[in-house]
Amino acid sequence: MSTVLITGAATGIGNLTAQALTRAGHTVWASMLDPYGRNDVHRRELLDVTAECDGALRVIELDVTSQESADAAVATVLRNGGDFDVVIQNAGHLYVGYTEAFTAEDVTRLFNINVIGAHRVNRAALPHLRGRGGGSLLYVGSTIIVTTPPFLGPYAASKAAFDTLAVATSYEANPFGIETCIVMPGAITKGTQHFPNATRAGDSSVAAAYADLDPMVARNEEVTSALFVPGVDPSPVGVAEEITRILALPHGAKPFRSVVDYTASGVDAVNEVARGTREGFVHRMGFGELLTPRQQRSADTESA
């Protein structure tokens, strides 16, 4: 079993994943903003779950917009747990609205959470993972980087940057035995706080210029829900279950990408073409060895 640090565990996919991994027997460090204040109810919910299943879960504060907070969270895990081998990059925020109407400051704030936040956590965690000779970085990405629906421009751009950062980091993590997996959920309109807590554009005067499109924006959740495959439960629980399945796989057997999509959008097919193109290009550069994780260093190897 693994010891897992997960970001954004207060609600939605992060919360459900923390619960699922705890029930599966992993040791979980569930991080969130302000766990004894605004997220106290979510902290208590997770602790109730771990008590029910006699699991090992601890809640820790981590603000991905602060390098000091990320460093402190990792230091706390190491000080109290001794080791961890999995980081789940899940923290994120949603923007809904007209792209032009989001100010530069709006977009900067979003990228600070969704992209640079993951980089901060990597900078805090990777020295430990390198030192232990292996581990896993699991990123909760999105099919939106392929489907790119309307009225989600800054969010889609941030998830694309998040994905590219994950891929680029994987080249440098693989030689140290650190696996990368990008789980790509499709549209999920219920069971998370993404849509209810979404930020709207800051420039209301520009947004007003697009008023003719307001009825489309208002129907966004409704029309997205209409895309779900009949008979399938489009729940974020499925994402948590897929993450749990992946972490149960042995080192070297985890998929680089995994799609959990209830809309049959065809993202798997696009991923396969993109994978072949990217890997072919890297091989042509002579860097093919960076595409797969080196065998994880075992305790026996370390003591030999």
Q: How many domains does the chain have?
A: 1
CB 120 within 8 A of CB 66: yes
Q: What is the pLDDT at residue 55? A: 84
Instruction: Report the SS3 class of residue 29.
Output: strand
Q: 70 vs 66, 108, 120, 161, 196, CA distance in Å?
A: 6, 19, 7, 20, 26
| Cα 114 to Cα 29: distance, rounded to the nearest angstrom | 20
Q: What is the pLDDT at residue 195? A: 62
Q: What is the pLDDT at residue 298? A: 60
| Cα 225 to Cα 80: distance, rounded to the nearest angstrom | 43
Q: What is the pLDDT at residue 299? A: 46
Averaged pLDDT, 166-188: 97
Phi then psi for residue 199, to 5 deg, are -90, 140
List the CATH number of the domain containing 279: 3.40.50.720
> Which carries the bigger pLDDT value, residue 7 or residue 196?
7
Tokens representing residue 195 in the block: 């849509």
pLDDT, tens digit, 9 for 90 and up, residues 52-73: 898 899 999 999 999 999 999 9
Q: How sure is the predictor about 302, in pLDDT bands with cuts at 50, 70 and 90?
A: very low
| Cα 56 to Cα 113: distance, rounded to the nearest angstrom | 28
Q: How sure is the predictor about 162, in pLDDT bands with cuts at 50, 70 and 90?
A: very high
Q: What is the pTM of this model?
A: 0.94
Tokens representing residue 56 in the block: 């090992």
Q: What is the pLDDT at residue 215? A: 94
**Separate counts of helices (H) and strands (E) for the chain:** 13, 7
Q: What is the pLDDT at residue 300? A: 40
pLDDT, tens digit, 9 for 90 and up, residues 99-139: 999 999 999 999 999 999 999 999 999 999 999 999 999 99
pLDDT, tens digit, 9 for 90 and up, residues 186-225: 988 776 656 667 788 889 999 999 999 999 998 888 888 8
Structural domain including 206 reads 3-303
The DSSP bridge partners found for residue 135 are 178
E strands, the chain, where? 3-6, 27-32, 56-61, 86-89, 135-140, 178-185, 257-260
Q: What is the pLDDT at residue 200? A: 84
